[in-house]
Amino acid sequence: MKKEELMKDLKFCQELMDRLVKYADLNYKDDANHFIENDNHTVIQRDIIRLRRELNEIRNKLDQ
């Protein structure tokens, strides 16, 4: 994996993380229900799952 590709992928993950933090800051309260969706995951949980998937793809590329 070239450094350019690695940096692009990591910056994308950083953007996902920044969005996750911003969403949590704006929408979560200490006593909130945390907005359970149809798939029994909160918005934050789905975002974390996506971020983890993206990071795993980067890890797999690095292993090759």
Query: Which residues, at least 6 apart from 6, have a Cβ–Cβ distance to it below 8 Å?
Result: 58, 61, 62
Average pLDDT, the chain: 88
| Per-residue pLDDT at 27 | 82
| Per-residue pLDDT at 44 | 87
The whole model's pTM is what? Answer: 0.79
CA distance readout (Å), 13 to 6, 28, 38, 60: 11, 22, 25, 15
Cα–Cα distance between 59 and 27 in angstroms, integer?
Answer: 31
**Confidence grade of residue 52 (pLDDT, cut at 50, 70, 90):** very high
| Per-residue pLDDT at 1 | 83
| pLDDT tens figures, 25-45 | 888 777 655 565 667 788 888
